[in-house]
Chain A
Amino acid sequence: MKILVPVKRVVDYNVKVRVKSDGSGVDIANVKMSMNPFDEIAIEEAVRLKEKGVATEVIAVSCGVQQCQETLRTAMAIGADRAILVQTDAELQPLAVAKLLKAVVDKEQPGLIILGKQAIDDDCNQTGQMLAALADLPQATFASKVEVSGEKVKVTREVDGGLETLELSTPAVITTDLRLNEPRYVTLPNIMKAKKKQLDTLKPEDLGVDVASKLKTLKVSEPPKRSAGIKVPDVATLVAKLKNEAKVI
């Protein structure tokens, strides 16, 4: 079967973002961008399934600006066979991305679609579920274990309080949690090889998708700052402060 893996280009997780002073958004000019960490896990899982002989082809897809090509090249360096960029300069929200992905799914007919559970920029945690709904596929979110056997896939999910296991018939949508796997490092030879792999570019219009949204961001502000605390010299002082000053114990 084919596996489709949507990936997103986001501000690197190590960057501490700054809110723009005019409140229009966060300042992402000249900051380091990378592949969303959960998407790396998704690519890694797809490539492992290919290495086990379960998958025949791994296709990475990204929606967004021209520079998302770099993210797709990284996905191909990890082991994706080819890539699709749905290029647009419009601001994309999860519903629009899910619609674009649905159109790609219709075209490519993958057996599994593996996404990250959330992107670390908008922190939405929606796209996988929305894609599953639009394509009318079963979903297994927050996966920490994936076992494919024939037409079925068994997925262990991280839920509040522990784990639960579901069995889905393929095609199905899976979103990855942190503990699913440890993504491999990309090696220089693989980066070179990835440059030769096929990367197709589409436009939302080619897919017949309207990416407009009725959700508007009015402003973006700094979270309230915590006032600076104090250092205490020893445990006795700490206990005294907690009892008498903060009155929390």
Chain B
Amino acid sequence: MTTLVIAEHDNASIKGATLNTVTAAIACGGDVHVLVAGHNAGEAAKAAAQIAGVAKVLHAESAGLAHGLAENVAAQVLAIASNYSHILLPATASGKNIAPRVAAKLDVSQISEIIKVDSPDTFERPIYAGNAIATVQSGDAVKVITVRTTGFDGAAATGGSAAVESLNASADSDKVSFVGSEIAKSERPELTAAKIIVSGGRALGSSEKFNEVMTPLADKLGAAIGASRAAVDAGYAPNDLQVGQTGKIVAPQLYIAAGISGAIQHLAGMKDSKVIVAINKDPEAPIFSVADYGLEADLFTAVPELVKAL
């Protein structure tokens, strides 16, 4: 029994979500191998070899793997899939894009966003926006799984010394090509990895106000900034800040929700936070039912006061 983890990386370094996935892989039992498929990804492969608990790193190089296109990465995974009992990917935009493609080609079910490994064939995953937890058992020969990163601690990024083995790259698809990307630059901690998150909702009223009110608080706390879907849809914040069922799933030490009512879709993305603080002027807002500390106040006065008091 051996588990393959598909690393998420930017060709130079390994992304944090991979570390959580390695922890889930270790919980499945057996050896853990990591596949680094990319272009000029030697540095990423070296970094993967350092992860504690990894027995072997497989490194595939080709221009077609540069941008992580699902068609090409899935083909690369399928080329070696017969050696593995489990294939794990992080439940990120990239992992969710690739995993079902691999599973379908293997004619097996895919198990999405597991939060716990009960045994090598039994897993727990949230359904209905996190309002229920399903325990599922797979009878498939290969388990293809995506791992909710907030459900598992990250493996140590150093301390391992796995061998790196080169793989022959499989052929690239001619049906799809990468045109370009616009990645938002940010000095802040990554949303899914941040210890503290300050999140704003529709009550902020405009993107100027959003920045004016939320940024000083985030700066003061060294926090990442998040947003509700309402704030994103209204254009107050970019979409990659959205926390919720269809956005990012986060579980920081401290989550401060300002001007967010707390719809179930939003709660699905943050209710595993250790401490939740809600600032809202509506005493009936559902966010207060999950908040450890609720402050019933206008956020335009409360948030600046909070910044001052810190």
Binding site for B on A (CB under 8 A): 11, 13, 16-17, 19, 26, 93-95, 98, 117-118, 120-134, 137-142, 144, 154, 157-169, 172, 177-179, 213-223, 226, 228-232, 234-236, 238-239, 241-242, 246, 248-249
Which residue of B96, B130, B139 is within 8 Å of A223 (Cβ)?
B130
Contacts of A229 on B, CB cut-off 8 Å? 276, 288, 290-294
Which residue of A13, A17, A118, A159 is within 8 Å of B93 (Cβ)?
A159
Q: How far is the CA of A138 from the CA of B176 in the complex (A)?
A: 6
Which residue of B100, B196, B274 is within 8 Å of A130 (Cβ)?
B100
How extensive is the interface on chain B, given as a class?
A: 35 or more
**CB-based contact A11/B128 at 8 Å:** yes
Tell me, rounded to whole Å, the shortest Cβ–Cβ distance linking A108 to chain B: 19
26 CB contacts below 8 A, A to B, read: A26-B132, A126-B99, A129-B96, A129-B100, A133-B101, A141-B70, A154-B179, A159-B181, A160-B240, A162-B181, A164-B180, A165-B180, A167-B179, A178-B233, A214-B108, A214-B109, A216-B139, A217-B135, A220-B127, A222-B132, A232-B293, A235-B309, A238-B293, A242-B254, A246-B292, A248-B275
Give chain A's interface secondary structure class: mixed
**CB-based contact A242/B293 at 8 Å:** yes
Q: How far is the CA of A215 from the CA of B229 in the complex (A)?
A: 32
Known contacts A161-B240, A235-B306, A242-B254, A214 near B182 by CB under 8 Å: no
Which residue of A162, A228, A231, A246 is within 8 Å of B296 (Cβ)?
A231
**CB-based contact B293/A214 at 8 Å:** no
The answer to whether B265 has its CB under 8 Å from any CB of chain A is yes
Tell me, rounded to whole Å, the shortest Cβ–Cβ distance linking B101 to chain A: 4
Binding site for A on B (CB under 8 A): 67, 69-71, 74, 92-94, 96-105, 107-113, 122, 126-140, 173-184, 192, 196, 221, 229, 232-233, 238-240, 245-246, 248, 253-254, 264-265, 271, 274-277, 288-297, 302, 305-306, 309-310
